């Protein structure tokens, strides 16, 4: 038996009239009659007494109707629970953040002010393939169950150097200026390490990587300590360096950060709200003045 059979049966049981049931569901009377007959055949018993153009539930039909009615009531209750949960402004939001940690942190701070009962689970170093995340914020292509994506930020890549570095006063830095310089890099596998490798390949020089770190804070600190140069994202890292560090333009390289998420049709209300906050905060970001 299927849900359509049971739906037709319950309405016919209440009205004891196939014509009224057919009219209610906008189908021919023969559809209702044949569906009920198939249901009775599957159950191996008649559910209605039939006399001329009249039908009436028999004893087995009344017993079956009582149980099916309870089953439908449970289904409706389940539907209400799901709807209430979807519209509830509480719960957990699980996020994988590969890029733009500062901006994402700002979004979460803003969101928690308005929705203090929402809890966040945040990862930074996973690959995104098996974490069942609600949102992934990344510049990397990868396979995920999350079916939708939106561009959050497209930012230029700039060269960070100490203000006393010999390149600090050079107006137009070229690849030749970088061939013998020490570089500070994120660890291999990080997108900014890939950015350094991409630029050096395109510009035909081999970067001399003096220090690698898996923590963006220390990449900035080592530049600030005049230990090397670094290619950094212009918008998402702005405000993170001390006054000792200058950001110099170099080429036309960019980094694009996306948010990956589930079909909004199936997202709980609290996730839709967070996605809206996220996009708004990113839209307010502006490139630094060089």
Q: Please identify every stretch of the chain with a pLDDT value under 70, giving residue numbers as ranges.
A: 80-88, 128-131, 288-290
* 118-147 per-position pLDDT tens digit: 999 999 877 766 668 999 999 987 777 788
Predicted local distance difference test score (pLDDT) of residue 88: 65
CA distances from 132 to 51, 127, 263 (A): 58, 11, 14
pLDDT reported for residue 290: 53
pLDDT value of position 289: 62
Beta bridge partners of 240: none
Torsion-angle region of residue 44: left (phi > 0), alpha (psi -120 to 50) or beta?
Answer: left
Query: Which pLDDT value is given to residue 86?
Result: 55
Alpha helices by DSSP H, listed for the chain, are 3-15, 18-25, 29-43, 59-86, 101-114, 191-203, 216-224, 269-283
Structure tokens at 68: 């099916």
Query: What is the per-residue pLDDT for 221?
Result: 95
Q: How far apart are CA 166 and CA 133, in angstroms?
A: 45
C-beta of residue 221 within 8 angstroms of C-beta of residue 162: no
pLDDT of residue 84: 57
pLDDT at 90: 77
Q: How far apart, in whole angstroms, are the C-alpha atoms of residue 247 and residue 226?
A: 13
Give the domains, in start order, of the chain with CATH numbers. Answer: 3-86 (1.10.10.10), 91-151+257-283 (3.40.190.10), 153-256 (3.40.190.290)
**pLDDT at residue number 197:** 94
Tell me the backbone φ, ψ of residue 35, rounded to 5 degrees: -65, -45
What is the pLDDT, as a whole number, of residue 81? 64
């Amino acid at each position: 038996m299927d849900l359509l059979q049971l739906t037709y049966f319950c309405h016919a049981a209440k009205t004891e009239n196939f014509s009224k049931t057919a009219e209610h569901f906008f189908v021919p009377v023969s559809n209702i009659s044949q569906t009920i007959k198939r249901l009775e055949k599957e159950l191996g018993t008649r559910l209605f007494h039939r006399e001329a153009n009249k039908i009436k539930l028999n004893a087995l039909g009344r017993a079956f109707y009582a149980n099916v009615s309870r089953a439908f009531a449970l289904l409706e209750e389940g539907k209400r629970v799901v709807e209430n949960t979807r519209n509830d402004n509480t719960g957990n939001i699980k996020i994988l953040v590969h890029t733009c940690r500062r901006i994402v942190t700002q979004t979460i701070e803003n969101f928690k002010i308005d929705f203090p009962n929402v809890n966040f689970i945040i990862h930074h170093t996973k690959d995104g393939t098996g974490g069942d995340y609600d949102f992934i914020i990344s510049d990397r292509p990868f396979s995920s169950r999350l079916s939708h994506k939106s561009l959050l930020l497209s930012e230029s890549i700039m060269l960070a150097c100490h203000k006393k570095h010999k390149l600090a006063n050079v107006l137009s830095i070229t690849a030749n200026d970088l061939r013998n310089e020490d570089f500070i890099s994120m660890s291999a596998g990080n997108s900014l390490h890939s950015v350094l490798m991409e630029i050096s390949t395109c510009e035909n020089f081999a970067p001399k990587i003096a220090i690698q770190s898996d923590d963006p804070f220390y990449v900035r600190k080592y530049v600030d300590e005049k230990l090397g140069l670094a290619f950094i994202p212009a918008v998402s890292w702005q405000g993170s360096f001390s006054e000792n560090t200058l950001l110099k333009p170099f080429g036309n390289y960019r980094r694009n950060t996306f948010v990956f998420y589930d079909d909004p049709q199936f997202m709980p209300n609290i996730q839709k709200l967070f996605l809206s906050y996220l996009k708004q905060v990113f839209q307010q970001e502006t490139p630094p003045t060089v």
